[in-house]
Amino acid sequence: MYDVMLLRKDFPVLERVIYLDSAATSQTPGPVVEVMNEYFFNYTANYGRGAYGLARETTERYDEVRKRVARFIGAKEHQTIFTKNATEAINMVALGIKWSKGDHVITSILEHHSNLLPWLRLRPKGVEISVVESDRQGILSPGSIGEAITERTKLIAITHVSNVFGSIQDIREIAKIAHENGATLLVDGAQSIGHMPVNVGKLDCDFLAFSGHKGLLGPPGTGVLYVKHPERLEPVYSGGGGVKSVTKDSFELDESPVCFEPGTPNIPGVIGLGAAVEYVEKVGITDIEHHVTSLARDAASRLAELPNIEVYGPLERAGLVSFNVASMDSHDVSMILDEHGICTRSGHHCAMPAYQFLGISGSVRASFALYNTQEEVGALVGVIEEVTRTLT
C-alpha cells in the first residue's frame, strides 16, 4: 500500500514548501543522507587504491553500489560507469566514439541541451547532424527517424521522456529502426530513471545516460553511463587509477568500468546513489510510476480546464506538466507561485529548440516525485486559477 504521508517523513524540507521541481533536482530522503554521513564518519578513504582495511571497506561499498545500479537497469557491472551527471555521460559518448568525416547522427528537437550540444559540436569533425521534429505534443514518430536515417547514420540520440512535454518516446521502436540500419542508440534517461521501469535490455539501447539527483533521489554530482560494448568506446579522461601499467613513454588502460573513471570519484555521492536506488526499489518502481503520473495527469487536465491557460504535452504523460498563463511571462507566474510557497521552474528548461519549435520563449513547469500529494496539485491549480481570474 503506497503511503505518501509516511514517505514524506523522510523529507523534512517538504514541511517548508510545496516542491514541484523534482525534474530539475529532487529532494534527498533521510536514509540516503544518513548513508553518506556514515561514509564521512566511519570509513572515509579513497577508492580502489589502499591495501589497508578501511580503504578496502570503501572500495567494497563503492563496488556494491555498482552491482546494485547495474541490477536496477538490467546491465552488467562492466557496462555501468559512474559519471558526475547525465551531461557528462552523454559527452563521454560523443567524445569517445571514433568519428569519420561523413558519419551521421540523428537527434531530436525535444532534446535537453545536454543531448544536443555534444552532437552539434561534432560538426567541425565532418559529422552530419539531423534534428528530427516531433509533433506539437512532443511525441517523436519512429517513422520520421526512419526517414532521416542513412547508411552513414552511426548513432541516434533520443530522450526517453521530454523534460518540456513530459512525453514518453517509443524507444523500442526507435531501437529497432536503429539496429536494422546498423546504427547505435543512445537514450537520455534523465527524466525516466526512478519514475518508471528502465531496463537496458527491454529498451534495447546501446547507451543509456542518467543523473542520480532527479527521479532516483540521489545526491547531485552523480550519474551513470551504461555502455553495451564498452570495448568500442574510447575513455575520454585518463590519469590516476583505471590503468594497468605505466612507463615513462606508454601505458595500458585497465578494463571497463574503471578505465572510464580515472581520478578519485565522488565516493560519498556514489554511496548515496546506492542508498537512493535501494530506497526507490523498496517503495517500488511501478507504484512510483503510478503515483507520479497520476499527479501529473491530474494537474495537466485540471490546469487545461482553466481559461487562458495553455498546457503542453500529451495526456499520456510522465511526471511533469509545462504550461503558460495567457500573455504572462513564465518567470512572473513562477514568482507568484513562490509567494504561495510553491516551487516550480520557469523559462526554457535548457531546451531552447523545443520552445522555438512551439514559437514561445518558455513555460512554467511543475514536476512531481514520489513524495508529492493530490493536495499539492490542488494548491498549484488553486493559485493558477486565482492568477487567471485577477491578472488575465
Ligand X SMILES: Cc1ncc(COP(=O)(O)O)c(C=O)c1O
* DSSP letter string, 120-180: HTTGGGT-EEEEE---TTS---HHHHHHH--TTEEEEEEESB-TTT--B--HHHHHHHHHH
Q: How many CB atoms lie within 10 A of CB 254?
A: 17
How open is the CA angle 95-193-188, to the nearest 5 degrees?
Answer: 30
Q: What are phi and psi of 71, to 5 degrees?
A: -60, -40
Binding mask 151-170 for ligand X (x = CB under 6 A): --------x---x-------
Q: Interface with ligand X includes 91 (CB under 6 A)?
A: no
Active-site residue list: 350
Distance (Å, rounded) from C-alpha 303 to C-alpha 324? 10
Q: Interface with ligand X includes 363 (CB under 6 A)?
A: no
Range in contact with ligand X (rule: CB under 6 A) among 14-22, 52-60, 94-102, 186-194: 186-194
CA distances from 102 to 94, 106, 177, 185 (A): 15, 13, 20, 18
* Distance of closest approach, residue 212 Cβ to ligand X, in angstroms: 8
Q: Interface with ligand X includes 192 (CB under 6 A)?
A: no
Distance (Å, rounded) from C-alpha 272 to C-alpha 250? 36
Our CB check for ligand X shows the closer of 58 and 80 to be 80
Instruction: For the segment 289-348, give every residue that binds ligand X (CB under 6 A).
Output: none
Kindly determine how many residues on this chain lie close enough to bind ligand X according to the rule CB under 6 A: 13
* Distance of closest approach, residue 164 Cβ to ligand X, in angstroms: 9
Q: Which helix (H) or strand (E) holds 301?
A: helix 285-304
Looking at 115, 169, 363, 367, which residue binds ligand X (CB under 6 A)?
115
* Distance of closest approach, residue 255 Cβ to ligand X, in angstroms: 26
Looking at 191, 322, 334, 346, which residue binds ligand X (CB under 6 A)?
191
Q: Interface with ligand X includes 108 (CB under 6 A)?
A: no
Q: Interface with ligand X includes 28 (CB under 6 A)?
A: no
* Distance of closest approach, residue 279 Cβ to ligand X, in angstroms: 19
Distance (Å, rounded) from C-alpha 320 to C-alpha 20? 9
Q: Using CB under 6 A, list all residues that contact ligand X.
A: 24, 85-87, 112, 114-115, 159, 163, 188, 190-191, 211
